[in-house]
Amino acid sequence: MPHATITGANSKSEAFIVRYCVLLLAAVASISTSLYAQTPAWQPAPGHTTLSIWPHAAPGAPPNPGAEIDTTTAKDNLIAGKPLMRLGNVSSPTLTLYSPAVNNTGAAVVVFPGGGYRILAIDLEGTEVCEWLNSAGITCVLLKYRVPDSGPYPKSSAALQDAQRALGIVRSHAAEWHIDPHRIGVLGFSAGAHLAAALSTHFEQRLYDPVDAADQVSCRPDFAVIVYPGYLALEEQNFAPNADIHVSDKTPPSFIVQAEDDPVHVENATVYFQALKNAKVPAELHIYAEGGHGYGLRRTALPVTGWPKLVETWLGTIQMLPASASSIQEQLPADVAAALDRLTPYQKSQLERVYNDWAFMAKYRDANKELPAPARGEARVVFMGDSITEGWGQQGSATSPDRVEFFPGKPYFNRGISGQTTPQMLVRFRQDVIELKPKVVVLLAGTNDIAENTGKMTLGEIGNNIASMSELARANGVRVVLSSVLPASEFHWHEGLEPAPKIRALNAWIKEYAAKNGFVYVDYYSRMANSEGGLKAELSPDGVHPNQAGYEIMAPLAEAGIAEALKKPIR
């Protein structure tokens, strides 16, 4: 009996333990599944802002959606010799902000990848598109909308809901994201192109109950780029227009491109273009003989893959972008146009940047806005100059991989821009110096004027620009430290100018001007020049830009000049 009693007790205990373990394992499995489902299969590179489209569940979302997955397999086709990611089962739509690093034009594009409303070609027709748009100075917002079975509208309204919501969010964040709220467009591929057209014709009423303030602003795009679209002409009805795409005179200007041999049928482009034309909506249509479908913007030998440059030009013609240097090339004489064609892509980008923003005001505009006002007692200093200043503190640069850190722990701000001359610095002096409210400005300028970077200039003209900046600073309560121009016997980018005697003459003028006006003069030249008036070889990799040893000579001289300036009263 005792043995039987003990056995009974053990059986009950064992049964309880088994049931407890089963429940525990089920709970763990549930938690693991939940966590797995919440981990997206695609995430943007670090450094980009990502927002959920819906603060809670998306409208009509199933209670237990499956996990987002990458559906790509080894058997899938390559585009331009490269694979692409096919993102599936997206139930938590997001938008990701890609801001241009330089030359922000204020225009923005919300990108809709294609994939037949089944998957999203998230890299081919998403992130790669954002890289191109950023290079053109355009903010890109990549929409990861719901798939599968999220369109075409009205079969499902899910994707169009996501698109409407995304446009409202972008427009409501325009000021924060440095976007012009009246220059926000959409760009879509294949099913995403249909989504762009659907949003272009369904913006007057949201397809969901308002969520927040983002739903109180317009979700109408200001322009649309439609790339190899589908669902706009109905094959089963002899390519009749899709009656659910109601083009009107309020539909935004549109750019359309497709190949005649596209298996999704070129009529999608031609029929939509005709509808736009009938409604008197500005539109541009490009049809190519070959190209197929789904090439994104990966360049091949086929001309159709050159469509991004056509979009840039078109955006200029509808005043969504400033006119570019390339857009005026057709107006130039043949010999000048031919010379432009010989420029490298980098040279062309620099030419376009100079044409659009001659003084490069965009370089530090955002950084200036984010910089707080000086703290009480802060001796803020701004260093203004060209590449010699800009390179001070840049680690691992092409010209000097060992550059020294820029005054660690000091409230010193570098506002140098490579290649700039004194007239360019004068244009941006208020934005990049005065408005930062420094106690002192350290001005190092003149090298590129002598190098004729923006054309021939006399020493008197260079001096006048330096004087104008100095007097602007004084008038706004900023003390001035004027630096000697660094020695140079040759400019590798403009040979034959023999700059050494001009640099000596300019430095003599700067020193005399500083003494007459009570400014501080810092003499880098005497410590760094060789007997020929060039920069000592051990202080520079190229005869113009200092290396670490050169900056180690300059730093204490600059610090001494700043300390002297801070002792001077403001006149």
Is 346 a residue whose pLDDT tops 60?
Answer: no
Based on the fold, state whether residues 447 and 401 are members of the same structural domain.
yes
Mean pLDDT (the chain) is 87
Based on the fold, state whether residues 95 and 196 are members of the same structural domain.
yes
Predicted confidence (pLDDT) per residue in 410-435, tens digit: 999 999 998 899 999 999 999 999 99
- Which strands, in side-by-side order, build the sheet including 108-112? 50-52, 94-98, 139-144, 108-112, 184-189, 224-227, 254-259, 283-288
Based on the fold, state whether residues 253 and 144 are members of the same structural domain.
yes
281 located within any domain: yes
Based on the fold, state whether residues 308 and 370 are members of the same structural domain.
no
Based on the fold, state whether residues 410 and 315 are members of the same structural domain.
no
Boundaries of domain holding 343? 327-356
Residue 432, pLDDT score: 97
Is 488 a residue whose pLDDT tops 60?
Answer: yes
Based on the fold, state whether residues 414 and 517 are members of the same structural domain.
yes
Give the whole-angstrom CA distance, residue 256 versus residue 266: 11
Residue 36, pLDDT score: 39
Polymer length in residues for the chain: 571
Give the whole-angstrom CA distance, residue 151 versus residue 195: 8
209 forms beta bridges with none
R_g (Cα) of the chain, nearest Å: 31
Report the CATH number that the domain containing residue 487 is assigned in CATH: 3.40.50.1110
Is 533 a residue whose pLDDT tops 70?
Answer: yes
Give the whole-angstrom CA distance, residue 273 versus residue 281: 9
Q: What predicted TM-score, i.e. pTM, was given to this entire model?
A: 0.55
Predicted confidence (pLDDT) per residue in 347-380, tens digit: 665 676 677 788 989 889 988 998 999 999 999 9
Q: Taking a C-beta distance cutoff of 8 angstroms, is the pair 472, 429 a contact? A: yes
Based on the fold, state whether residues 315 and 340 are members of the same structural domain.
no
> Among 97, 108, 209, which Cα is nearest to 157's?
209
Q: Which residue has the tokens 């801070």?
A: 566
Predicted confidence (pLDDT) per residue in 250-308, tens digit: 999 999 999 999 999 999 999 999 999 999 999 999 999 999 999 999 999 999 999 99
Predicted confidence (pLDDT) per residue in 554-569, tens digit: 999 999 999 999 999 8
Based on the fold, state whether residues 336 and 312 are members of the same structural domain.
no
Number of separate domains in the chain: 3
Confidence of residue 18 (pLDDT cuts 50, 70, 90): very low
Based on the fold, state whether residues 192 and 259 are members of the same structural domain.
yes
Non-local (6+) Cβ contacts of 294 within 8 A are 79, 114, 121, 124, 189, 190, 228
Q: Could you write out the DSSP letters of every residue in 432-488? A: HTGGG--SEEEEE--HHHHTTBTB---HHHHHHHHHHHHHHHHHTT-EEEEEPPPP-
Based on the fold, state whether residues 294 and 176 are members of the same structural domain.
yes
Segment 311-319 shows an average pLDDT of 91
